[in-house]
Structure 1
């Protein structure tokens, strides 16, 4: 069998047509009320790596294709999924050609054309643009219009898995006419476009209040005249995860609450009210601790947390990084904060099963003796205060995360565990709206990483990890030059890693791709670029009055919001 056919038969399993008939005519079900305790700061996912921005924007702007609740690729703006068999993917694997659905319109009534896709590619790859999703366009050499409704994406080398650019909620198509003056360094300045993108999705932005609330109304030009069932929608931000859960499960004030990172026993008590339930999907989410390889002293100014600052005086030592991981009891953290919605992990890449490595399981069980020995052997000696030091450098770290009761409890547990090996921690929590907001002017974003270590969750769209693993390449590190955007938040830079990512991009057979992905995962874990903690499920609260919700761990949880309706 031709190598392209081997790959595409394996990687595009059960490609299906999207769409489920709505249960009501457009706008007859009133208002849909969604609550995100992490408030949305922009409606442009290309300017934020935050999940909240990606999910919010997915109600308005769409990709050519996305992943359904089973992880299968389904067409959105595209008429079908291109394959070698149907002629959409070239035999040499160096191009993929997409055909738009007929008569697609933007919400302002103008036609969607191939030129919009071309512009989107140029927008995300423009110099100094700071595109947060640049990994999706890795290896793309050109995007061109065969005609007004046909888009050809060419690759610099054969691309066995060509479903990257314009696929998934993190890589939607934006309107060229609206964003034409927003290329490069001008991208963050286009407030009107970034806050209210013209889209093709079931809703349009009516009003946007950053870090507060987004108000939507049904898109009058949506391609299905019967959808959405709701005339209006809101995504209210702020508060905390517990209050968001309560607003759905106890008071019934809201219909849907995303990201219920709440203690299991608290959620169980809330569900006893009978007004809603928790829906969980397991995908690729991992709660992890980033370990900063660069110096972060405030006196360094703009060089802080960049290569120009020089190596971190303590965390550049591999023995210190590994000791920090070995000292953590992941079982206790999971029991306290996640229960059945999580499980301890040493992998950055925790799913699907074919990609799961068992080569880094050394971190699964706490080993204080081994951690202490590592530090002893590396010359880190405990002082009179119990804190280890070496050459005048103390193992005392600023440990930051977003404000959340589970995360603060995890911080407290980790602080105690690290104290047992002579490591001190100063704990800091930052409002999630700010921490994940991506504002280049803020010193408190996870992209700037003005701390020694920081904790959060990340994941990726779909079931193929190539574009996700590309996010740790050297050229994806956030810096002042990129407006502090870029997927490589942890600042990992390893030429061997970069070379292996490129090898993955050239590899066709699924089993061989899985082996390379495992090696990439193992590099990150064994180098302790990050400390994986918990493979998290995605629990969200859903009102008993809402139907049509299909929990999706492979794309935006709001991926099929056009099909949601109120129970009659």
Structure 2
């Protein structure tokens, strides 16, 4: 389908001659996924089809307690420091963005009065400006009014390098102006095809200026509100014990009529994914459990209990391994895995290529994840338009042995290969979770057959995914040779997802290890393609550039994709919840209710 054909179909939708459903089917037939087809319609002024949860209650409150399990316990409540999904979920209960993403990839207004479009004057013709109109009469939990000043401040806060925010990549290259108390303008340096990043979704949560103004920059970690949030969300903060429990109560002044339904909220952290699934599906002790990285056969048996149901949604999330090309065992200027160092053996592309061949992805999918993941060689898998058709995976121990033989790595008396006195011995780290430990074992056994020795390290999930800058075992530190985890694609567009592959996002001591590029690897060609994609308005050319960024890292075998993850949660049979694969689980928690 040519661009002009798409334009013709969009015009027919606007005229009422073609239904949205028919347009989506025609777009899908030529590889344009529903989230992007919907964005094309929105960009051209066609109202979004709301795929959010239909809300039945006729008044706020009366629903009693809502009990949620995050088996990776939250440790902080400032969304701009939240490198772990668990902290992002917890923060989103109190803080809100201008808009969020529903399960179909539609942009849904939250603190904004409407989604910007060309038709309503929100999007400039040159692609450089976005005007957001804010919802009136919104109050912070302390009664102060929410205004454009808070939006502008959030930009200043996140963009300041001294703040060392996890979200800085979304704000550092833009300018935000206050038009009036209920209008802000976002100005991009270049034409920006994907403008729905700043102030949207996970990275877009707005902070109250009156609580954070004196803590912008170097004092950012000292703000009391980092642990005692004052937001605009459906629940007001009551208590937080980091690593344990978070509680809230219904916000009586919430800006959406008749919401929220529940009177109190409890988010319990800790434990493991299996016990979390059991607490919803079998015992009914909790209403909702997030991120059930549990063997599929186990979940199927639990579902027979009748107290709960599995909720699985398509997402862009990826389970993958990083091979560290820097030296995790040598400290330079107060940090290990510094870009000033070079890994003794993993800096060798041949070693990385061999390790990639020693991963039995098909068995990991079949015997461990089932509904929870699909084997892949591509870091980006959804939407399909952005998935590389070039990247392929193969499990071949003989081929891996041949590569290492030809590269000069010989087996010692202990069976471990070495070259120039440097052994192929690695520490392989992940979080404590049964599927991950089984995956580690599968890979370890294959590596042994190729003369590679893996020491398996498992870290408590609440520590591994912590944003604690003092902890050496967090995944962003990468103080090991290789590590495995899932990273979440926060929106139905891979641009921000792929900033994990750019040089200016490298995690290090200076940015408190909150840079998005945990691998530390960089490539000028990837940087160039990424910057070009940021301003390319032709959708096909832009997709090709982002695919190139993905391919550079995967073909270098620094990033070893394992599974395209489905987001799996458990919910009580009578809980009406809104589960999106493009936003955090709590993105629309205000609309949850008990049937």
Normalising by structure 1, we get a TM-score of 0.95
Tell whether the 8 Å contact from 2:248 to 2:266 is kept in structure 1 after alignment: yes
Tell whether the 8 Å contact from 1:341 to 1:538 is kept in structure 2 after alignment: yes
What is aligned with 1:239? 271
Q: Which of residues 572, 575, 583 in structure 2 aligns to 1:546? A: 575
What is aligned with 1:71? 105
Match runs of 1:322-361 below 5 Å:
322-361=353-392
Tell whether the 8 Å contact from 1:328 to 1:417 is kept in structure 2 after alignment: yes
Closer, same or farther in 2 for the Cα pair 1:354/1:10, shift >3 Å?
farther
What is aligned with 1:132? 166
Using the alignment, how far apart are the partners of 1:491 and 1:14 within structure 2?
42
Using the alignment, how far apart are the partners of 2:580 and 2:171 within structure 1?
24
Match runs of 1:212-223 below 5 Å:
212-223=244-255
Match runs of 1:134-533 below 5 Å:
134-137=168-171, 139-140=173-174, 142-190=175-223, 192-297=224-329, 302-308=334-340, 310-361=341-392, 363=393, 365-533=394-562
Tell whether the 8 Å contact from 1:11 to 1:161 is kept in structure 2 after alignment: no
Using the alignment, how far apart are the partners of 1:31 and 1:321 within structure 2?
50
Deviation at 1:550, TM superposition (A): 2.5
1:565 aligns with 2:593: yes
Using the alignment, how far apart are the partners of 2:56 and 2:228 within structure 1?
26
Deviation at 1:408, TM superposition (A): 0.8
Structure 1: gaps spanning 5 or more residues: none
Deviation at 1:133, TM superposition (A): 1.7
What is aligned with 2:24? none
Secondary structure of the residue aligned to 2:510 is helix
- Higher mean C-alpha displacement, 131-140 vs 347-356: 131-140
Tell whether the 8 Å contact from 1:106 to 1:112 is kept in structure 2 after alignment: yes
What is aligned with 1:107? 141
Secondary structure of the residue aligned to 2:457 is strand
Secondary structure of the residue aligned to 1:541 is strand
Tell whether the 8 Å contact from 1:329 to 1:366 is kept in structure 2 after alignment: yes
Closer, same or farther in 2 for the Cα pair 1:299/1:64, shift >3 Å?
closer
Tell whether the 8 Å contact from 2:444 to 2:453 is kept in structure 1 after alignment: yes
Using the alignment, how far apart are the partners of 1:243 and 1:24 within structure 2?
35
Closer, same or farther in 2 for the Cα pair 1:19/1:409, shift >3 Å?
closer
What is aligned with 2:75? 41
Higher relative contact order (CA 8 A, sep 6+): 1
Tell whether the 8 Å contact from 1:143 to 1:153 is kept in structure 2 after alignment: yes
Using the alignment, how far apart are the partners of 2:480 and 2:121 within structure 1?
50
Deviation at 1:511, TM superposition (A): 1.9
Using the alignment, how far apart are the partners of 1:48 and 1:102 within structure 2?
28
Secondary structure of the residue aligned to 1:158 is coil
Secondary structure of the residue aligned to 2:314 is strand
Using the alignment, how far apart are the partners of 1:301 and 1:150 within structure 2?
45
Structure 2: gaps spanning 5 or more residues: 11-35
Using the alignment, how far apart are the partners of 2:408 and 2:327 within structure 1?
20
Deviation at 1:529, TM superposition (A): 2.0
Using the alignment, how far apart are the partners of 2:586 and 2:326 within structure 1?
37
Secondary structure of the residue aligned to 2:362 is helix
Deviation at 1:410, TM superposition (A): 0.8
Deviation at 1:138, TM superposition (A): 5.2
Tell whether the 8 Å contact from 1:295 to 1:304 is kept in structure 2 after alignment: yes
- Higher mean C-alpha displacement, 80-89 vs 249-258: 80-89
CA RMSD between the two structures: 1.9
Using the alignment, how far apart are the partners of 2:236 and 2:529 within structure 1?
41
What is aligned with 2:21? none
Using the alignment, how far apart are the partners of 2:581 and 2:93 within structure 1?
16
Using the alignment, how far apart are the partners of 1:211 and 1:492 within structure 2?
31
Secondary structure of the residue aligned to 2:162 is coil
Using the alignment, how far apart are the partners of 2:172 and 2:581 within structure 1?
23
Deviation at 1:217, TM superposition (A): 0.8
Using the alignment, how far apart are the partners of 2:159 and 2:153 within structure 1?
10
Normalising by structure 2, we get a TM-score of 0.91
Paired residues, number: 560
Closer, same or farther in 2 for the Cα pair 1:210/1:513, shift >3 Å?
same
Using the alignment, how far apart are the partners of 1:299 and 1:341 within structure 2?
38
Using the alignment, how far apart are the partners of 1:77 and 1:241 within structure 2?
33
Using the alignment, how far apart are the partners of 1:442 and 1:181 within structure 2?
26
Secondary structure of the residue aligned to 1:302 is coil
